[in-house]
Homo-oligomer: A and B are copies of this chain.
């Protein structure tokens, strides 16, 4: 009697749970309090007020989503993911967007993975991989790297990732503009990366090209080479970025380090530098540093504090902008 009741309860519970198992609700809520100042020279010297703020996404952009994976047998899976970004400080998101971050359906199996929809590009996969300060708002590159200005998740995308073989893997993405007219070709964005990840070593090379489809309009080409090495006592981080569009070219560098301090504490910081030239003549320079301290209250919840300091100069070395940020916050994953 009792046994059959237990078995029944198990079935009921398993049934109810399975009714839910086709979709998982997940997300990140990340909020911080702090002080931020952006000053820009519009001809009257550096202008801009310091703001005391409650804001969203100190470490990671706040988001929620629905995702699921269905086993189709023979190692084949159908997968989907729908992810909306929002600001936890005011509840806002982009008007007219159900899912600002990703929205795709696809398959995975021995052949790798295919996605169809609004997907992070293959360049984006590498872009933040070796960023210091937890690849966050505090990262040195955040306000310095021009090569961060790529289109991260264009619409109308197809994406393919290879399986991992001996630590090596690759991915390719293509996004269609669907805007062909009598006057122009369709715009398009394509990207690719190769990656090596094995033990303490990470190395990734990514390329993205954005074409407007208008005759004579130069494509914008992004290159990123990222590497890291984990010494145990510290993880060394390095990045090289390059953007080119016609005669305009940016070359940029970043070095950083993650330092586990014991307990659940990690310190990470770095320095970034960028120089933009037009037809060989320097147009501007950016440089910045950032440091963040993270304390893991649990696997899902991290308290953090961070600083970012950035400076921009024009071609002759005059300071035309300054930015600084001091913040403490919490990132909660569900």
Contacts and interface: CB of A to CB of B under 8 A. Distances in A.
Nearest to A68: B334
A31 interface: yes
Nearest to A83: B91
A94 interface: yes
Contacts of A158: 33, 54
A198 interface: no
Contacts of A62: 103
A80 interface: yes
A238 interface: no
A52 interface: yes
A91 B86 contact: no
A42 interface: no
A318 interface: no
Interface of A: 6-7, 9-14, 16-27, 29-33, 47, 49-56, 62, 64, 66, 68, 70, 72, 76, 78, 80, 82, 84, 86-107, 116-118, 155-158, 175-176, 178-182, 186, 297-298, 300-301, 329-330, 332, 334
Given A9-B11, A92-B98, 9 more contacts: A25-B25, A31-B116, A33-B158, A62-B103, A64-B98, A72-B298, A72-B301, A89-B156, A92-B155
List the 10 closest A-B pairs by CB distance, nearest first: A90-B155, A91-B99, A16-B17, A86-B98, A95-B96, A93-B98, A13-B14, A29-B105, A54-B156, A31-B116
